[in-house]
A and B are shown apart, each in its own frame.
Chain A
């Protein structure tokens, strides 16, 4: 039976104003049950105020093969990081 139940990715919003964050995955026969399983597995300790479940098959992921061409070209472009600015004194939250 296990093999027949599709996998779902679970996203939890911790509180209003935050974005949904991926917390894990689970098996469920369909979307409605996936939402309920997510409630039982991931939010029983008041971890969240909102849940998303997404079929794992709907996730398009980058592959390890492409890791070099996807991510390495950014390595020498440190001007993309906001590291060369001086932070005015007294500014705590920039």
Chain B
């Protein structure tokens, strides 16, 4: 194991958050397999989930190298408790409504597009992972946007449910754009600086979909759900991990 370079702690912390976002998203998307409106959408959501899983694996590997403590990607995915996860709250809640699934994907992919683009544009241990992820999330963003347009500007019922999904998910966007000391310490853009670019990817889609954009709070949001990056999670993450980790924990050291 190499000696960690200066600043590698902050980089590991920052990348761990991004990796956890992707892993939890992959697990939530897996729920849709066999449940999507059509077989074709099953395949699309599974593909997107697998993209996210691949991003998580790549980032975990980088984090393990930076730590130099001998942990593996499996240790990080399967042997940590909810309080050790650093994902944002947006991704951990159940998404058993198709409109919620695609609205959340729109918000997350818009943000990931900016984050991965920044990571890919400079030297760093995650540059390779991010360069591949940029193309993947561009497709996730497109897929989500296509569905938001069709649901929002579809029938009265689909519009109503898309608006309800947007109203439910929107408050969780604030956490993605909060100041992140780990990002800054690691030399990455502070999330608030990405705000305009992220909203520029989201708002035109919502407007074209005839959806009402919920009020955008300015400055430090108050009363918005937050805390995921510090390990403060909802009970939903505990439930998700119980299911995702049970096989690995029941058979310690098993390989597959």
Which residues of A are interface residues toward B (Cβ below 8 A)?
1-2, 5, 26-30, 32-33, 36-37, 40-41, 44
Contacts and interface: CB of A to CB of B under 8 A. Distances in A.
23 contacts: A1-B37, A2-B38, A5-B38, A26-B40, A27-B39, A28-B40, A29-B150, A30-B150, A33-B146, A33-B150, A36-B44, A36-B142, A36-B143, A36-B146, A37-B40, A37-B41, A37-B44, A40-B40, A40-B43, A40-B44, A41-B40, A41-B43, A44-B47
User: Interface extent on B, as a size class?
Assistant: 10 to 19
The secondary-structure label for the interface of chain B is helix
Interface string B45-61: 00100000000000000
A44 B232 CA distance: 37
The 8 residue pairs across chains A and B that have the minimum distance between CB atoms: A37-B40, A40-B44, A40-B43, A26-B40, A40-B47, A41-B43, A27-B38, A1-B37
Contacts of B40: 26-28, 37, 40-41
A48 to B, nearest CB: 16
Contacts of A1: 37-38
Given A27-B38, A37-B43, 4 more contacts: A30-B150, A32-B146, A33-B150, A37-B40
Interface in B32-90: 37-41, 43-44, 47
A26 B43 CA distance: 12
Contacts of B146: 32-33, 36
A88 B40 CA distance: 52
